[in-house]
Amino acid sequence: MTNPTRILLIDDDAVDRAAVRRALAKSGLAHTLTEAAGGEEGRRLAAEAIFDCVLLDYRLPGIDTFALLKTLLSVEGEARAVLMLTGEADPDLATRLMRAGALDYLDKAEVTPSGLARAIRFAEARQAFQAELAAARREAEAKSLELDTLNRQKSLLFSIIAHDLRNPFQALLGLSEVLGKAVAARDPASIERRAKGIQEAATQAYALLESLFSWASLQMDTMAVTLTDVDLGTLADEVMQGAAESATDKGLILQVSCDRIVVRAQRDMLATVLRNLVSNAVKFTLPGGTIKIAGRRVAGEVEISVTDTGVGMPPGKVDDLFRLDRRTTTNGTAGERGSGLGLLLCRDLVERQGSVLTVRSAVDSGTTFRFRLPPSSGIDHARTVKVPHVG
What is each CA distance from 321 to 98, 151, 297, 314, 316, in whole angstroms? Answer: 49, 20, 27, 11, 9
Q: What is the pLDDT of residue 77?
A: 44
**pTM beyond cutoff 0.85:** no
Nearest by Cα to 244 from 252, 235, 236: 252
Q: What is the pLDDT of residue 272?
A: 83
Could you give the CA distance from residue 206 to residue 184 in angstroms, rounded to a whole number?
Answer: 29
Q: What is the pLDDT of residue 29?
A: 87
**CB neighbourhood size of 101 (10 A):** 16
What is each CA distance from 251 to 24, 115, 275, in whole angstroms? Answer: 87, 88, 18
Q: What is the pLDDT of residue 391?
A: 34
Q: What is the pLDDT of residue 327?
A: 52
Mean pLDDT by 10 residues, the chain (391 residues): 82 90 88 90 88 87 87 67 80 82 79 81 75 82 80 62 63 80 83 81 71 63 75 92 85 91 90 88 92 93 95 81 61 51 82 91 92 79 35 34
What is each CA distance from 291 to 141, 247, 276, 360, 382, in whole angstroms? Answer: 45, 9, 13, 15, 24
Strand ranges, E, within the chain: 5-10, 31-36, 53-57, 81-86, 104-107, 228-231, 253-257, 262-265, 290-298, 301-308, 358-362, 366-373
Could you give the CA distance from residue 51 to residue 105 in angstroms, rounded to a whole number?
Answer: 18
Q: What is the pLDDT of residue 208?
A: 67
Q: How many CA atoms lie within 13 A of 152 on its CB side?
A: 11
Q: How many CA atoms lie within 13 A of 234 on its CB side?
A: 11
Nearest by Cα to 111 from 80, 82, 85, 81: 85
Count Cβ neighbours within 10 Å for each residue of 281-300 and write b for 16 or more, e otherwise: bbbbbbeebbbbbbbeeeee
Could you give the CA distance from residue 31 to residue 9 in angstroms, rounded to a whole number?
Answer: 12
pLDDT tens track for 291-329: 999 999 998 999 999 999 998 888 877 777 776 655 555
- The secondary structure of residue 378, as a DSSP letter, is S
Nearest by Cα to 24 from 114, 127, 122, 86: 114
Largest CA distance in the chain: 113
Could you give the CA distance from residue 34 to residue 8 in angstroms, rounded to a whole number?
Answer: 5
Q: What is the pLDDT of residue 105?
A: 79
Q: What is the pLDDT of residue 389?
A: 37
DSSP 270-303: HHHHHHHHHHHHHHT--TT-EEEEEEEEETTEEE
DSSP 140-205: HHHHHHHHHHHHHHHHHHHHHHHHTTHHHHHHHHHHHHHHHHHHHTT-HHHHHHHHHHHHHHHHHH
- The secondary structure of residue 326, as a DSSP letter, is G
